[in-house]
Amino acid sequence: LPHIQDYLLYFRGRAFERSKKIAEAVAAYDLMLELYPASVLRTEVLYRKAGAMLEGGSAEPARRIYTEFIERYSKSSRIPEALLGTGRASVLLGDNEAAIKAASRLLIHYPANRASRGAAQIVSQLRAAGVDIPEYSVEERFRRAQRLFDATLYAEAIKELEIVERGAGPGELKEKALIKKAVALVRLKEYSRVEGLLERYLTSRGASTRDAEALYWLSLSALRQSKARLLEKCVEELSARFPSSAERAGAILFMGRYYEGIGELDRAIGLFEQVASQFRQLPHAEDAMWSIGWLNYRAGRSAEALKGFGSYLDSYPAGKDAGKVLYWMARSLEKTGDSEAA
């Protein structure tokens, strides 16, 4: 079985590991690495070898291998576990500085990975032993918050962002943290908190390049709370200050959705037509063009619906809504009596 010898050696090493035969496991991994340097299993075997050596008490060579692994395979999904292994090996070697460095990197860059629990234990263990552990900088806190946000751990991200808000001086980082916090609150559907946060932000300081973003998320919170006047105010300010922005296009779409929701279809269509004509270069226009056809169909205006659906297909023949556009276009043709064309 020449084509699977590397796999056989790998699984042999794993079997030895599970049986706590560490020397035999390391020998199997070494042989695999020597005989099959181009194997797709190489990164996994190197990681496993380090783990086996650490379990066997060989902390220094294990740390050396983990370090090599992290440097050579920086995109590997095993990086968090390799950092944890580095931290644990460093603790065994009495190298507190290296342990803190590895654990902090894991907690900042991979806070949602299960290995981060082990890193937190290392930090707690060292702190209990009286080791001075420096606080994260606000930049590091923000990076950690971003990773938590990306992992949809919004409540945890908000806690980190609030620390950044308190610790950062006036400037871009503080504003980025506040906007990111607002978006996390949107994801948690806490729209009243979003409203309060962004209204304070917009009224408590001078103009900022992030105001368009703040107004966009404020308009969404207004839509979710059915606050028409607040939604109109957001659109008015975006129109005055950021007339060509994607944020303005999005806010007008939200206003259209509001009027669609309360049954004022003609008013909604007018807003969608505004987006379709003024923001053709943005993806918002595609959503608007679908809505124009669909709302005309709902209003019983089959000819106008056909025109709207046709405009969509002319502009987006392979668009995300092309399938349902074709279906409702056929239904519109049926309603006009043109069954053959349908």
Residue range 217-221: mean pLDDT, rounded:
98
What is the gyration radius of the CA atoms in the chain, in angstroms?
29
CA torsion 253-254-255-256 (nearest 10°) is 50
CA distances from 209 to 23, 72, 199, 331 (A): 60, 40, 16, 46
- Stated pTM of the model: 0.87
pLDDT at 5 over 60: yes
Give the pLDDT confidence of 120-148 residue by residue, as tens digits.
Answer: 999 999 999 999 999 999 999 999 999 99
Confidence of residue 2 (pLDDT cuts 50, 70, 90): low
What residue spans of 56-95 are helical by DSSP H? Answer: 59-72, 79-92
pLDDT at 110 over 60: yes
Q: What amino acid is encoded at 208 in this protein?
A: S
Whole-number Å distance between alpha carbons of 270 and 296: 11
Taking the alpha carbons of 248, 254, 257, 262 in that order, is the dihedral positive or negative? negative
Long-range CB pairs of 86-90, under 8 A, 24+ apart, other chains included: 87/118, 87/119, 87/122, 88/54, 88/118, 88/122, 89/54, 89/59, 89/60, 89/62, 89/63, 90/59, 90/63
Residue 315 pLDDT: 94
Confidence of residue 78 (pLDDT cuts 50, 70, 90): very high
Residue range 213-227: mean pLDDT, rounded:
97
Whole-number Å distance between alpha carbons of 341 and 185: 48
Residue 338 pLDDT: 63
Average pLDDT in the chain: 94
pLDDT at 1 over 80: no
